Structure 1
Amino acid sequence: MAPTSPSQSRPPRHPLNSSACRPRLWSASLLLVGALMAGCSDGSDEAAESQSQEGGQATEVEAVTVKMQDVPITSELPGRISAYQIAEVRPQVGGIIESRDFTEGSEVEEGQVLYHIDARTYRADVASAKASLARAEASLNTSNLQAKRFKTLVARNLVSQQDYDDAVATVGEDRADVASAKADVSSAQINLDYTTVTSPISGRIGKSSVTKGALVTASQDTSLVTVQQLDPIYVDMTQSASETLKLKRELSKNGKAAAAPDKAKVELLMDKDDPYQYQGELQFTDISVDEGTGMVTLRALFPNPDTMLLPGMFVTARMVEAVAHDAILLPQKAVSHNDDGDATTMVINAEGKVESRVVKIDRAMGNQWLVTDGLSAGEQVITSGLQKIKAGAPVRVAKDDATENDATADAGQPGEEQ
C-alpha cells in the first residue's frame, strides 16, 4: 500500500473556518448591527418628534400675567422757556442820564433805583406849579370874603342881587382855579419823580442800553434795560390741533378713559433726556389755533430757584393728557404681526397650550404696548421662547414676570407715548 502524503491524509477545510473569510464575517456582522441600531434610532426620534407634536412634551417659555390698571397717557411736546414777568424799562420823561445805579446781570428788587435823570427843570416846574396854586388859593380867599359881605348886604337891599350872584360865581371860578393849580402841582411832581427810574418788578436785570450822559426822551422806542422774573418760569408747549382733536374723540368713545385734570403735572427733559428736578403744573390751553402752523399753545409753570431754566431755551415737556382706566400693558417683545398686519400675541389657554390671539393696540408707552382689546385679566402671554413654539403646542411657564406690565415698571419714562 502506497504511503499517503500529509496533504492527502488531512480532511478538507470548511470555507467558514477559513481565516480569509473571518474579516468578511465581522464586516457583515457590524453592518447588520448598525442597520438594526439605525432602525431603532430612527424610530425613537420619529416617535419623540411625533410625541412632541401631539402635545406630550411641554416647551419651556417665559410669560407675563395680564392685569388691569390705570395707565396715564402722556405726550412729549416741544417747549420753549419764557419769563414769568418781563418789564422793559423806558423813560417817562426826557433828559440827560446822570447815573446808572445797578450792576448788569444782577438781581434787583421792585422799586430799586436803576437810573437818575437830570431833574433840575422838573424841580422848577414843581415850584412854578406850587406858586400858581398859592395865587389861586389867595384869589379864592378874597372872593369868599366878598361873597359873604354881599350876602349880608343883599338882605338889606344895599347891593343888587346881580352883584351878589356875580360874587358867588367868582368864588366858583376861583375854586376851579385852585383845583387846576393842584393838578398842575401833582403833574409836575410826577414828572419830577420820573427822573428817578426804578424797577417795576423783582428779577434778573439785563444789559443797559444807555450810559451816563446819554440823552433820553419820554416813551422812546428803545428800552433802557429789561428786567425778567425767572422764578417761577413758564414753559410754552405746542401741540398740533389734529392730535388734540384725536385725543378728545378717543376720550368720548372710550368709557374707560378720562381727561387729565386742568392742573396736570408736567415733566421737563433737558439735553440727552436728562429730567429737570422739579415738576411743573399746566396753567392753561390756548383756545385758538395758530393759522400758520395749525398748533395749539399750552403753558406750564415750573419752579426755577436755581435759575437753570433761562428764557429762550428749548426743552421737551412730558405731560399727562388722559388716564386710561382698566387698561392693559404688554411688553413690546410679546407682540408680533401676522401677514394681514394685525397685532398678535401667544396666549397660554386653560389646557396649557399655545393660542394665537389677535389684539388691538392703541399706542406705545415706553417699552410697552397699550392693549385695548383681545385680552382679559389673568391670562398669560408668552414673552420669551416664541421661536420654539407654535399654536396648539403645550408649554410650561418657567418664569412669570407678573410685574413687567405694570405702568410704573418703566420708572424712567412713565407712560411715554411714542
Structure 2
Amino acid sequence: MSNLRLPSGQQVRVVIFSSLLLLAACGEKPQQAGPGEMKVPVSVVTVQPTPTEIVVELPGRVEAIKDAQIRARVNGIVTAINFEQGSEVKAGQLLFTIDPAPYRAVRAQAAAQLQRAEADAKSARLLAERYSKLIKANAVSRQEYDNAMAAAGQAEAAIAAAKATLQTADIDLGYTKVDSPIDGRIGKSLVTEGALVSATAATQLATVQQIHRVYVDLTRSTAEVAQLRQALASGALEQSPDGNAKAQVVLEDGSIYDQAGKILFSGITVDPTTGQVNLRAEFPNPDEILLPGMYVRVRLQQGVDEKALLVPQQALQRTADGLSSLMVVKEGKVQVVAVGVGPESKGNWIITKGLNAGDVVIVEGFQKIRPGVPVQEIPWKQQGAQDGNAPAQAAPGTPGAKQEAGQPADKAPASEAGSKG
C-alpha cells in the first residue's frame, strides 16, 4: 500500500485533455465530397465561325454519253459475226452479216421492172409525139390524141415507181450488212451465227457505248433546291469564286474519283411521282473506270458559308425519334442542346441552328456524364486524322478513344447511348 502513489494534478489534467480530444474526434463524421461536386474530365472543342465550302452528296447513276442498240432492220439468218466482243469499234465498221440472197433477188426483180417501165414509156412518148402532129391535120380525133398523151404521162409515172421500188430493194440489201453507227466499245453479241432475226420484232444484236466521257444522272428534292436558292439570295451562302458548279464522284470503296466533272443542267420540271428535280453531270472517263449502270455518289459544290459552325461528327447525338442534339458546357456543367444539322464538311457536321459561336461542345467522355453534372474541360486532340477530316476548331483525336474520321454519331457504342439521357 505504501508503494501506491496518487497522480499529480498535472498528470490528471493531461489525462482529461486527452480524453476530451478523443471524444471530439469520435464524434466527428468524415467529410466526403458529394457526387455533384466531382468534376468529370471530358474532351471539348470551342466552336468558332469558319469559312466553309458547302458540299452536298447525292446518289447518281452512270450513263454512257452515247448508247447505240444494234438491231436487225431486215428479216433473215445471221451468216457472220464480224467483230471481237468487248473491243473498240469505229463508225461504219461491219458487225453482222444477214443472208443477202433473198434481197439480191428482190433487187434484180425491181431492176427488171424499171427497164420494162422505161421501154413502155419510150413507146408511149413516140405515140404521143406522132399524134401531136396528126391532130394538127385532123388526121386523128381529139379523143385519140388525149389518150396518147395520158398514156405517155402514166408511163413516166411508172418509171418513177419502178425507181422507188429499186431504191427500196437496195436499202434492204444494204441492211443485210449491219454496221456500227458510232465509235465506241461493243459488248457481247446477243445472237449467234444461224440465228433468225426479225425486222418486225427489231431483234437486238449488240450494244455499242461511247464511254470516254460519261453522264451521271442525279435527283434532288424541290425542298433542297428552294433552300439553296434562299441561302444564296439572303447572302448566307456565297457562290463559288468561279461561278461554276463542280462535281466529284465518290466510288464504292469511299475513294474520290480523280477526274472532276461539271453540272450540265438542272431540270426545269418536277417529277410528279417523286417531287424531285433531275440533274445531269458530265465526267471525263479516259480509263473507263466509270461504267454505264454503275451507282455512285456525287459531291456537288453549293457555295461558301463564311460563318459556318462546325462540330466533329462524333459529338452529335441522335435520338430514336430522329432528332439531333449536342452536349455543351455552360457554367461548368453539362447541358443538352437541340440543334439543326446541315451538310457534312470534311468529317464535321455544319450546325445550322441551336448553337452559337463560342459555345463549348463535348466531343468525348459521354459515358460518365449527364445533364447538370460538373465537368473538367480538356481540349480535344484527335489522333490519326486522315484525308483532311480535321475539324476547323481543334486538332483531331481524343485521348483514350479512337474513332474513324467521318463515322456517323449514330454509330456510337451502346454504353454511350445509354448514358446520354
TM-score, normalization by structure 1 = 0.65
Flag the 1:371–1:214 CA change in 2: closer, same or farther, 3 A: closer
Unaligned runs of 5+ in 2: 1-7, 22-42, 366-377, 381-389, 397-404, 407-421
- Correspondence for 2:311 among 316, 319, 331: 331
Corresponding position of 1:250: 227
1:36-185 to 2 correspondence within 5 Å?
66-67=48-49, 69=51, 71-77=53-59, 79-185=60-166
1:270-281 to 2 correspondence within 5 Å?
270-281=251-262
- Correspondence for 1:318 among 299, 303, 306: 299
Cα separation, 2, equivalents of 1:222 and 1:198: 15
1:203: Cα distance to partner?
A: 1.9
1:287 maps to amino acid: T
Q: Is the 8 A contact 1:347 1:357 kept in 2?
A: no
Asked if 1:191 is matched to 2:159, the reply is no
2:208 maps to amino acid: V
Flag the 1:290–1:309 CA change in 2: closer, same or farther, 3 A: farther
1:345: Cα distance to partner?
A: 5.8
SS in 2 for 1:266: strand
Flag the 1:87–1:142 CA change in 2: closer, same or farther, 3 A: same
1:209: Cα distance to partner?
A: 2.9
1:81: Cα distance to partner?
A: 2.7
Q: State the Cα deviation string for residues 340-388 of structure 1 (Å, max 9, x = none).
A: 987676699xxxx99x998964425233343446888xx655578999x
1:85: Cα distance to partner?
A: 2.8
What is the aligned length? 362
Q: State the Cα deviation string for residues 105-162 of structure 1 (Å, max 9, x = none).
A: 1111121101112212222222221121122122222322332332233233333332
Cα separation, 1, equivalents of 2:102 and 2:348: 74
SS in 2 for 1:105: coil
Cα separation, 1, equivalents of 2:126 and 2:194: 53
Flag the 1:260–1:65 CA change in 2: closer, same or farther, 3 A: closer
Flag the 1:198–1:385 CA change in 2: closer, same or farther, 3 A: closer
Asked if 1:282 is matched to 2:282, the reply is no
Cα separation, 2, equivalents of 1:142 and 1:179: 16
1:179: Cα distance to partner?
A: 0.4
Corresponding position of 1:49: none
Corresponding position of 1:35: none
Flag the 1:226–1:385 CA change in 2: closer, same or farther, 3 A: closer
SS in 2 for 1:135: helix
Cα separation, 2, equivalents of 1:123 and 1:207: 29
Q: Is the 8 A contact 2:327 2:336 kept in 1?
A: yes
1:102: Cα distance to partner?
A: 0.7
Corresponding position of 2:375: none
SS in 2 for 1:226: strand
Which sits farther off after the overlay, 279-288 or 257-266?
257-266
1:212: Cα distance to partner?
A: 2.5
Flag the 1:385–1:73 CA change in 2: closer, same or farther, 3 A: closer
Unaligned runs of 5+ in 1: 1-14, 19-23, 32-60, 388-396, 414-418
Flag the 1:336–1:149 CA change in 2: closer, same or farther, 3 A: closer
1:257-406 to 2 correspondence within 5 Å?
257=236, 264-283=245-264, 284-285=266-267, 287-289=269-271, 291=273, 297-320=278-301, 322-323=302-303, 325-332=305-312, 361-366=340-345, 367-372=347-352, 380=358, 382=360, 405=392
1:256 maps to amino acid: G
Alignment RMSD: 5.3
Q: Which structure has the larger Rg?
A: 1
Q: State the Cα deviation string for residues 236-255 of structure 1 (Å, max 9, x = none).
A: 3344xxxx233244346541
Cα separation, 2, equivalents of 1:304 and 1:341: 40
Flag the 1:290–1:386 CA change in 2: closer, same or farther, 3 A: closer
SS in 2 for 1:181: helix
Cα separation, 1, equivalents of 2:185 and 2:207: 8
Q: State the Cα deviation string for residues 9-66 of structure 1 (Å, max 9, x = none).
A: xxxxxx99x9xxxxx9xxx9xx9xxxxxxxxxxxxxxxxxxxxxxxxxxxxx997683
Flag the 1:86–1:335 CA change in 2: closer, same or farther, 3 A: closer
TM-score, normalization by structure 2 = 0.65
